[in-house]
Structure 1
Amino acid sequence: MKLIADGGSTKTNWCLVTDDGKKVYFNTEGYNPYFVSPQYIIESLRKNLPADLEVEKLTEVNYYGAGCSTDEKRQLVHNAMSQVFVNAKVNIGHDLLAAARALLGRTEGFAAILGTGTNTCIYDGKDVVNNIDSGAYILGDEGSGCYIGKKLLVDYLRGYMPEAVRKNFWDTYQLTPDDVNERVYSQPLANRFCAQFSKFVYDNNVHLEYTRNLVKTSFEDFFKNLVTQYPDYQKYTFNCIGSVGYNFRNVLEEVVTENGMTIGTIIRSPIDNLVKFHLELEPSSI
């Protein structure tokens, strides 16, 4: 039996492929090694893996994760997961490679992630060959759920929100400005905290012009600082995975067109296509 997983900073989508080809899907939280320790990964997996998963029978684990962009971070996640999946060969790759493989298969092109965080690349049909650093949630991650959430929180702290939106925000979260600063600057996983407010933006129906403009300017920043910096970017179709890109795709498609690109594939999660890649195109390879 083997596991294939796509791990973001907030959530990991897993697929168990049994020896007779049956597929079983489940989720755990995300395990970005920039934000969680090896011990945290071990304890979380032991707590959150399905109770009926026969871990000792697994022979292979292919995990693509946010933050697994360097040998050091991949080794950190590998060491942690090897203590949980004790009899399996554990392979660790970057979630950006998962996105490219899920979106493009064996075809070259442009691929992006717009979820809790942001990432982009040019893919040659096998590997990521050009990647502009997103800067992560403090320095960059333009267009991400965290970026949208930060813009919303700044407007809340500074009193820039329309009154109807501010009232709705208070009724929903009961957060004072001091509460916000405490969560961002004194508690762990500030990226997840900020990203959760992209759902508020998506659900808001009291001042659509305000929230739509907030999302559009976030995507415009994403294009200005990342996408348009790739040489000849307009020759590629725009392909994207992630809940933010998928949920706000009507606004995203508008910004894509304004920047001279053609829409390709926009999907919420890569897991189905990633499983297909491993089972049909290139088994057991990260």
Structure 2
Amino acid sequence: MKLLVDSGSTKADWIAIDEQGKVIFTTQSLGLNPEVLTKEEILFRLEDKFDISQNKDKATHLFFYGAGCGTDRMKNFLTDVFQEYFSNANITVYEDTYAAVFATTPKNEQAIVCILGTGSNCSYFDGHVLHQKVQSLGYIAMDDASGNRFGRHLIRAYYFNKMPKHLVEKFEKNFDLDADVIKQNFYKEPNPNAYLATFAEFLIKNKEEVLFQSFIREEMTAFIENYIMQYENCKEVPVHFVGSIAFYLKDELKAILSEYGIQMGNVLRRPIDGLIEFHIANK
């Protein structure tokens, strides 16, 4: 049994397949970002899901694609944790961009592949090897156009009294905006980046608002200039996207990309289904 996992900071999609590619089960756990979780927290999140815990000894392979796995230190840390839990499995840990590449890019084709979800990332795939010019420093310093960046904009607009009254009323109905609650989630709870990203749905649902359009343009412009334009051939190859932000703001993203002469390629909300086809073809 092969386990295929696509994990962001917020959630992780799991699919178990047999040798023929038939789906045995699917489930979803909390995200397993090793940059923000301890070994104990990761093991707890695994054990907390019945399908995972009941089948851990049956797994022969685990292919994990995850946020926070961009360095060898984090890959090795997570590999050791998984090897302890899935004791009979061969463990392979990739950074999350590889899931996006394998799901969106036809075999041997060149593309720039981006992730716009809870966090953000961008790499160039030459048809064989992934190249990354910007190493992520995480949500505090980077993550342009991500869910957590949009959440930060919303919280700041609310607390700096920049949000129009009609939006304030809707925002207050949707979230507990007490300062103590927010600070508890920022500084005392795990995954503050994922907490920030929970606010992004409000922006997406009200994206026609002038204030929110300004946030969208600011963040997407920053992402294009800071990430995509690192690659000199960005106007010559398709630029694929994976993630909820890219998926639900696809029209806005396509319009801003076109202003830079950049061609939008495939856009997927989640890459997990494409990973099944990839692993069947490359078993």
**Superposition TM-score, scaled by structure 1 size:** 0.92
Cα shift at 1:78: 1.0
Q: Does 1:65 align with 2:66?
A: yes
User: CA offsets per residue over residues 13-60 of structure 1, 9 Å max, x none?
Assistant: 111102453213221111111100111111110111417843222111
Cα shift at 1:268: 0.5
Give the letter for the 2:16 counterpart: L
Structure 2 equivalent of residue 115 of structure 1 = 117
- Provide the rounded CA distance (Å) in 2 between the counterparts of 1:111 and 1:135: 18
Structure 2 equivalent of residue 221 of structure 1 = 222
Secondary structure in 1 matching 2:239: strand
Matches within 5 A, 1:125-204: 125-204=127-206
- Provide the rounded CA distance (Å) in 2 between the counterparts of 1:77 and 1:174: 34
Structure 2 equivalent of residue 96 of structure 1 = 97
Give the letter for the 2:273 counterpart: D
Indicate if the aligned counterparts of 2:21 and 2:276 stay in contact, CA closer than 8 A. no
User: CA offsets per residue over residues 198-253 of structure 1, 9 Å max, x none?
Assistant: 01111237x72222322222111111221122223111212000011001111111
Give the letter for the 2:178 counterpart: T
Structure 1 alignment gaps of length 5 or more: none
CA separation of 1:51 and 1:88: change in aligned 2, threshold 3 A: closer
Secondary structure in 1 matching 2:85: coil
Give the letter for the 2:145 counterpart: G
Cα shift at 1:156: 1.1
Indicate if the aligned counterparts of 2:66 and 2:93 stay in contact, CA closer than 8 A. yes
- Provide the rounded CA distance (Å) in 1 between the counterparts of 2:123 and 2:34: 21
CA separation of 1:69 and 1:174: change in aligned 2, threshold 3 A: closer
Indicate if the aligned counterparts of 2:133 and 2:230 stay in contact, CA closer than 8 A. no
- Provide the rounded CA distance (Å) in 2 between the counterparts of 1:188 and 1:59: 31
Give the letter for the 1:4 counterpart: L
CA separation of 1:51 and 1:129: change in aligned 2, threshold 3 A: closer
Secondary structure in 1 matching 2:213: helix
User: CA offsets per residue over residues 244-266 of structure 1, 9 Å max, x none?
Assistant: 10011111111111111112100
Give the letter for the 2:201 counterpart: K
Number of residues paired by the alignment? 281
Cα shift at 1:174: 3.0
Secondary structure in 1 matching 2:163: coil
Q: Which moved more, 1:58-67 or 1:100-109?
A: 100-109
Secondary structure in 2 matching 1:245: helix
Secondary structure in 2 matching 1:87: coil
Runs of 4 or more off by more than 4 Å in structure 1? none
- Provide the rounded CA distance (Å) in 1 between the counterparts of 2:233 and 2:140: 28
Structure 1 equivalent of residue 10 of structure 2 = 10
**Superposition TM-score, scaled by structure 2 size:** 0.93
Cα shift at 1:187: 3.1
Indicate if the aligned counterparts of 1:2 and 1:16 stay in contact, CA closer than 8 A. yes
Larger relative contact order (CA 8 Å, sep ≥ 6): 2
Indicate if the aligned counterparts of 1:134 and 1:142 stay in contact, CA closer than 8 A. no
Indicate if the aligned counterparts of 1:111 and 1:239 stay in contact, CA closer than 8 A. yes
Secondary structure in 2 matching 1:122: strand
Indicate if the aligned counterparts of 2:46 and 2:53 stay in contact, CA closer than 8 A. no
CA separation of 1:49 and 1:84: change in aligned 2, threshold 3 A: farther
Indicate if the aligned counterparts of 2:122 and 2:227 stay in contact, CA closer than 8 A. yes
- Provide the rounded CA distance (Å) in 2 between the counterparts of 1:249 and 1:67: 25
Secondary structure in 1 matching 2:51: coil
Q: Does 1:31 align with 2:50?
A: no
User: CA offsets per residue over residues 147-195 of structure 1, 9 Å max, x none?
Assistant: 1111111111111111111111112213124432342234331101110
Structure 1 equivalent of residue 241 of structure 2 = 240
- Provide the rounded CA distance (Å) in 1 between the counterparts of 2:13 and 2:184: 30
